C-alpha cells in the first residue's frame, strides 16, 4: 500500500493541474464502460482464462456482438476504454479478438468483486447525480437517517431506510450479500481483541452467555471465533432481524456446520430492542458504520441495556480512520455517505459512546492493517 501510494503521488506530481482534473473523467469513463459491459454480459461471454494455459483464447468482435446482441462497432469503441487501461486485452489478429485479463475475470457474474462494483456504481456514480438536489432539499449537513438518505432519495423512496429499500428487490439483496463477502476476506476478524477475559468468563460460569454477535447474519463470524478460540457453542448467540434469523436457521439446518451446532439464534431489532442481557461481549462487525451518529447512539443505548455485568463490553469491529485519512479510507467514508453511514475517528467513537452513556475503554488495532480495529466500550463509570 505504501508503494502504491508513493507511485500515485509521483504520477500526480508529473501532471499539470488541468491534466489532473481532466484525468478524473478518464477514470469515470472506465467505470462507465465496465458497467455497460456488465449489463450487456460481455465479461461472461468472453472465454475464461485457463490457468497455466498458453494465453488468453479471446473472442472475435463479430462473434461477441452476436452473443450479446450489440452492434460490433459500438462494442469496439467501449472496449477501447478497457483495453487501453489493461482491463481487457486486445489481440491484433485477423479478425481482432478481445480477451480477458486477471482483472476482468473478477468482473464476471458471481464474483464478489463484480457484485461490489455494481453496489458501488449505484452508491457512488448514480448517487453523485442527485447529491446537489439532495442537499438543497435536506440542508448542507450529514444525512441523519436511517431514512431520507441519498440512496433512497435517488430511488424516489426517501421515506425508506436503506435496507428496507434493497430488501424489496431480491436481486439487489442477493448482490449485496455477495458483495459483502469481500469485506469478510479483506480485513481481519480475529487477532486484535485480547480474548483471555472472554475465555475466562466462559469457564467461570458455563451457563452465562459469553459472545453475542449483534447483526450476526448467518453466523460467519461466530464460526471464525469459535474455530479460532474454542468459544463454547452453548454460550454463543447470534441476534439479528427475525427474517434474517429465520433464513440463517434454515441455512444451518440444510448445511449443518460444527461451528454453529449448539449456537443460539435469537431475533432482535437493534434499533428498538435490547439484546440478551448479561453477556461478556456484544460484538458488532461493520454495523455502526452503516448509520449516522444519532442512529448509532440509539443502537448503543439499546445495547447498553444488556450490560448488566461489571465485565460486560460492547466490541465494535470496523475501520477507525485518522483525522486526515489516506485516499482509500476517505473513499470508503464517502461511499458510506450514500446510505447515511460514516467511518469514524477514535474521537468520533468517543463522542457517540458519551451520548449513549458509555465510554471507550480500549482501541485494539490490527498489526498489519492499522486502520481496522476493535473499539471496546463499557458503561460509563
- Asked if 235 and 203 touch (Cβ cutoff 8 Å), the reply is no
pLDDT value at position 325?
82
User: Which residues neighbour 142 within 8 Å (Cβ) at sequence distance 6 or greater?
Assistant: 292, 293, 337, 342
What whole-number distance in Å separates Cα of residue 121 and Cα of residue 99? 24
CA 20-343-363 angle, to 5 degrees, is: 125
Q: Cα-flanking dihedrals φ and ψ of residue 271, to 5°?
A: -75, -20
pLDDT by residue (tens digit) across 121-146? 999 999 999 999 999 999 999 998 88
Domains of the chain: 2-105 (1.10.10.10), 112-184 (no CATH), 187-379 (3.40.50.150)
Q: What 8-state DSSP symbol labels residue 59?
A: E
Show pLDDT as tens, one digit a residue, over the chain (381 residues). Answer: 678 778 878 887 888 888 888 888 888 999 999 999 999 999 999 999 887 766 667 999 999 999 999 999 999 999 999 999 999 999 998 888 999 999 999 999 999 999 999 999 999 999 999 999 999 999 999 998 889 999 999 999 999 999 889 888 888 888 888 887 776 666 788 889 999 999 999 999 999 999 999 999 889 899 999 999 999 999 999 999 998 899 888 888 888 888 889 999 999 999 999 999 999 999 999 999 999 999 999 999 999 999 999 999 999 999 898 888 877 788 889 999 999 999 999 999 999 999 999 999 999 987 766 678 999 999 998
Whole-Å CA distances, 211 to 154, 181, 219, 230, 364: 38, 22, 12, 12, 18
Q: Residue 89: its pLDDT value, please?
A: 94
| Residue pair 343/289 in contact by the 8 Å Cβ criterion | yes
DSSP per position, 173-192: HHHHHHHHHHHHHHS-SSSS
Q: How far apart are CA 78 and CA 68, in angstroms?
A: 14
Which stretches of 244-289 are assigned E, i.e. beta strand? Answer: 264-267, 281-285
- So what's the pLDDT on residue 1? 67
Q: Is 317 helix (H, G, I), strand (E, B) or coil?
A: strand
Single out the residue of 331, 343, 298 nearest to residue 116, CA to CA.
Answer: 331
Mean pLDDT of all residues belonging to the chain: 91
Cβ contact 297:348 at 8 Å? no
Residue found by looking up cell 489478429 in the block: 93
Dist CA 254 CA 231 (whole Å): 23
- Return all residues near 285 (Cβ < 8 A) that are at least 6 apart: 189, 213, 215, 216, 221, 317, 318
Closest CA to 264 of 192, 302, 203, 207: 207
Provide the b/e sequence for 212-251 (b: ≥16 CB within 10 Å): bbbbbbbbbbbbbbbeeeebebebbbbbbbeebbeebeee
Q: Strand, helix or coil at 297?
A: helix
Q: Residue 266 forms beta bridges with which residues?
A: 239
Give the model's pLDDT for residue 188.
Answer: 82
pLDDT (0 to 100) of residue 346: 94
**Separation of alpha carbons 41 and 109, rounded Å:** 8
Q: Which residues contact 129 (CB under 8 A, 6 or more apart)?
A: 154
- State pTM to two decimals: 0.84
Strand, coil or helix: 315: strand
Q: What is the pLDDT of residue 56?
A: 64
Residues making up the chain, counted from first to last: 381
State pLDDT tens for residues 289-340: 999 999 999 999 999 999 999 999 999 999 898 888 877 788 889 999 999 9
Amino acid at each position: 500500500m505504501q508503494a502504491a501510494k508513493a507511485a500515485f503521488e509521483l504520477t500526480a506530481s508529473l501532471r499539470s493541474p488541468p491534466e489532473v482534473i481532466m484525468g478524473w473523467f478518464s477514470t469515470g469513463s472506465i467505470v462507465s464502460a465496465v458497467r455497460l459491459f456488465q449489463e450487456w454480459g460481455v465479461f461472461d461471454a468472453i472465454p475464461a482464462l485457463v490457468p497455466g494455459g498458453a494465453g488468453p483464447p479471446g473472442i472475435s468482435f463479430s462473434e461477441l456482438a452476436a452473443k450479446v446482441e450489440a452492434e460490433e462497432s459500438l462494442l469496439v469503441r467501449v472496449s477501447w476504454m478497457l483495453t487501453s487501461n489493461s482491463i481487457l486485452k486486445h489481440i491484433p489478429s485477423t479478425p481482432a479478438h478481445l480477451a480477458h485479463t486477471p482483472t476482468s475475470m473478477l468482473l464476471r457474474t458471481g464474483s464478489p468483486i463484480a457484485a461490489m462494483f455494481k453496489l458501488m456504481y449505484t452508491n457512488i456514480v448514480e448517487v453523485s447525480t442527485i447529491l446537489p438536489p439532495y442537499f438543497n432539499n435536506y440542508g448542507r449537513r450529514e444525512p441523519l437517517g436511517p431514512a431520507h438518505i441519498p440512496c433512497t432519495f435517488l430511488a424516489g423512496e426517501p421515506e425508506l431506510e436503506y435496507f428496507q429499500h434493497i430488501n424489496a428487490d431480491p436481486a439487489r439483496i442477493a448482490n449485496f450479500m455477495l458483495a459483502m463477502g469481500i469485506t469478510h476476506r479483506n480485513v481481519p476478524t480475529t487477532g486484535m481483541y485480547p480474548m483471555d477475559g472472554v475465555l475466562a468468563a466462559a469457564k467461570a460460569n458455563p451457563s452465562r452467555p459469553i459472545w453475542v454477535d449483534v447483526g450476526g447474519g448467518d453466523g460467519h463470524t461466530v464460526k471464525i471465533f469459535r474455530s479460532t478460540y474454542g468459544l463454547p457453542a452453548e454460550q454463543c448467540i447470534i441476534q439479528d432481524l427475525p427474517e434474517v434469523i429465520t433464513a440463517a436457521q434454515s441455512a444451518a439446518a440444510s448445511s449443518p456446520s460444527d461451528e454453529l451446532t449448539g449456537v443460539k439464534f435469537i431475533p432482535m431489532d437493534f434499533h428498538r430492542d435490547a439484546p440478551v442481557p448479561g453477556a461478556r461481549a456484544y460484538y458488532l462487525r461493520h454495523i455502526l458504520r452503516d448509520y449516522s451518529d444519532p442512529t448509532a447512539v440509539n443502537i448503543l443505548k439499546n445495547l447498553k441495556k444488556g450490560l448488566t455485568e461489571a465485565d460486560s463490553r460492547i466490541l465494535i469491529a470496523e475501520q477507525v480512520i485518522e483525522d486526515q485519512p489516506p485516499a482509500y479510507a476517505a473513499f470508503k467514508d464517502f461511499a458510506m455517505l450514500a446510505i447515511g453511514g460514516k467511518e469514524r475517528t477514535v474521537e468520533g467513537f468517543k463522542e457517540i459512546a458519551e451520548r449513549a452513556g458509555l465510554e471507550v475503554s480500549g482501541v485494539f488495532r490490527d498489526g498489519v492493517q492499522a486502520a481496522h480495529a476493535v473499539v471496546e466500550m463499557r458503561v460509563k463509570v
